[in-house]
């Protein structure tokens, strides 16, 4: 088994057609067929079911593709990282995340004050499918096969108008409330999973990504919404609204700082330490 065989295999899976895969790889179709047969012989299993020209991936083939594709992604990432850390004088730091978070605004001010020589860049994209180089990721769950540090653990509250003075909201009462939801985002997914797990199906009256609009509507008693305890409070004025614990124990979310294993530059270490200290200080404030 070699990398060429694995490359041919992944391309056939992506196209599910030997001829198309051969065209894309600029090789003869019989070469791919022989390579796949040899790979199957070495593994001792069938990776495809052949029905004329039609290919169907077997369960073994599907599992093998998942592992091989992940390995190729790791190799591509390793190549990018090697290029990025070839010099300890590299002053650019790239942070990747699924969604922007207000806590980064204050962090940017801090890092530019303490390390003005660092060029901090952000990539907003889905974590799984973006092959671009990054130094760190901000993620809601630990990333497999990477180093993960807990950056922030915060409670999520229910926001209502000031007219509501109760400190805690029982879960079943959320069903009776008109609710504003965030646009598609990891935080929105997180709150939806929580509600589904509690068998709560609230009346959603608006979906928006504008936090100031959400606050103003809640302050006027139009609806309620979920707000994280710390990360939004960095830049968003929450004085207009009331925050209530949800249920007896509340519910919490976590944000992790994730990055590939391997050597780190002094700049990377400085940024990671500063970000961790900054987020930990929010809890003490």
Please tell me whether residues 157 and 244 are part of one structural domain. Answer: yes
Q: Please identify, among 83, 102, 127, the residue that sits at the C-terminal boundary of a domain.
A: 83
Please tell me whether residues 195 and 233 are part of one structural domain. Answer: yes
Looking at the domain assignment, is residue 190 inside a domain? Answer: yes
What span, in angstroms and rounded, lies between the C-alpha atoms of 88 and 91? 8
Please tell me whether residues 171 and 79 are part of one structural domain. Answer: no
Per the CB < 8 A criterion, the answer to whether 118 and 269 are in contact is no
Please tell me whether residues 246 and 120 are part of one structural domain. Answer: no
What's CA 282's distance to the chain center, in Å?
22
Please tell me whether residues 157 and 136 are part of one structural domain. Answer: no
- Residue 9 domain boundaries: 3-83
Please tell me whether residues 159 and 234 are part of one structural domain. Answer: yes
The residues facing 155 across adjacent strands are 252
Per-residue pLDDT reduced to its tens digit, 196-231: 888 888 888 999 888 888 888 998 999 999 988 887
Please tell me whether residues 247 and 272 are part of one structural domain. Answer: no
Q: Which two tokens stand for residue 20?
A: 């198309």
Please tell me whether residues 127 and 77 are part of one structural domain. Answer: no
Per-residue pLDDT reduced to its tens digit, 3-30: 889 999 999 999 898 888 888 889 998 9
Please tell me whether residues 131 and 43 are part of one structural domain. Answer: no
Percent of the chain with pLDDT over 70: 91
CATH number at residue 33: 1.10.10.10
pLDDT band at 279 (very low <50, low <70, confident <90, very high): confident
pLDDT band at 64 (very low <50, low <70, confident <90, very high): very high
Per-residue pLDDT reduced to its tens digit, 132-148: 678 899 888 898 889 99
Total domains present in the chain? 3
Burial class (CB in 10 A: 0-12, 13-18, 19+), 191: buried
Closest residue by Cα to residue 141 from 241, 281, 255, 29: 255
Looking at the domain assignment, is residue 258 inside a domain? Answer: no
Please tell me whether residues 165 and 220 are part of one structural domain. Answer: yes
Q: Please identify, among 83, 101, 136, the residue that sits at the C-terminal boundary of a domain.
A: 83
N-to-C CA span, the chain: 57
Looking at the domain assignment, is residue 267 inside a domain? Answer: yes
- pLDDT at 235 > cutoff 90: no
CATH number at residue 101: 3.40.190.10
Please tell me whether residues 129 and 269 are part of one structural domain. Answer: yes
What's CA 253's distance to the chain center, in Å?
14
Q: Please identify, among 65, 83, 101, the residue that sits at the C-terminal boundary of a domain.
A: 83
Per-residue pLDDT reduced to its tens digit, 160-192: 888 877 778 888 888 888 999 888 777 888 888
Percent of the chain with pLDDT over 90: 18
Per-residue pLDDT reduced to its tens digit, 79-133: 777 766 554 446 788 888 877 677 777 788 888 888 888 888 888 776 555 556 7
The residues facing 241 across adjacent strands are 161
**CA dist 272 → 95, 148, 197, 264 (Å):** 10, 11, 34, 10
State the average pLDDT for the chain.
84
Please tell me whether residues 14 and 53 are part of one structural domain. Answer: yes
Instruction: State the average pLDDT over residues 271-279.
Output: 90
* Residue 66: per-residue pLDDT: 92
Reported in sequence order, the residue ranges of the chain that DSSP labels E, i.e. its strands, are 48-51, 54-57, 92-97, 119-124, 136-139, 147-161, 168-169, 178-182, 203-208, 225-228, 241-246, 251-259
Least confident interval from 83-87, 183-187, 247-251, 275-279? 83-87
Is residue 141 helix, strand or coil?
A: coil
**Model confidence, pTM:** 0.62
């Amino acid at each position: 088994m070699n990398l060429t065989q694995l490359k041919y295999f992944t391309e056939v899976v992506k196209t599910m057609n030997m001829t198309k895969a051969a065209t894309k790889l600029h090789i003869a179709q019989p070469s791919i067929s022989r390579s796949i047969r040899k790979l199957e012989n070495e593994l001792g299993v069938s990776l495809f079911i052949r029905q004329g020209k039609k290919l169907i991936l077997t369960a073994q083939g599907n599992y093998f593709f998942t592992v091989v594709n992940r390995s190729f992604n790791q190799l591509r990432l390793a190549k990018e990282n090697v290029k990025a850390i070839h010099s300890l004088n590299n002053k650019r730091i790239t942070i990747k995340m699924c969604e922007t978070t207000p806590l980064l605004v204050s962090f940017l001010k801090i890092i530019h004050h303490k390390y003005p020589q660092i060029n901090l860049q952000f990539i907003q994209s889905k974590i799984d499918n973006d092959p671009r180089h990054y130094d760190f990721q901000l993620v809601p769950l630990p990333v497999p096969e990477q180093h993960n540090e807990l950056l922030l653990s915060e409670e999520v509250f229910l926001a209502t108008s000031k007219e509501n003075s109760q400190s805690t909201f029982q879960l079943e009462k959320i069903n009776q409330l008109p609710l504003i939801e965030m646009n598609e985002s990891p935080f929105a997914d997180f709150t939806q999973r929580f509600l589904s797990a509690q068998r709560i199906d609230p009346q959603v009256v608006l979906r928006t990504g504008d936090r100031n609009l959400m606050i103003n509507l809640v302050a006027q008693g139009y609806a309620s919404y979920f707000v994280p305890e710390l990360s939004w409070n960095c830049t968003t004025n929450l004085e207009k609204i009331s925050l209530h614990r949800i249920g007896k124990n509340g519910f919490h979310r976590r944000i992790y700082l994730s990055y590939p294993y391997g050597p780190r530059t002094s700049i990377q270490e400085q940024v990671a330490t500063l970000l961790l200290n900054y987020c930990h200080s929010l809890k003490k404030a």
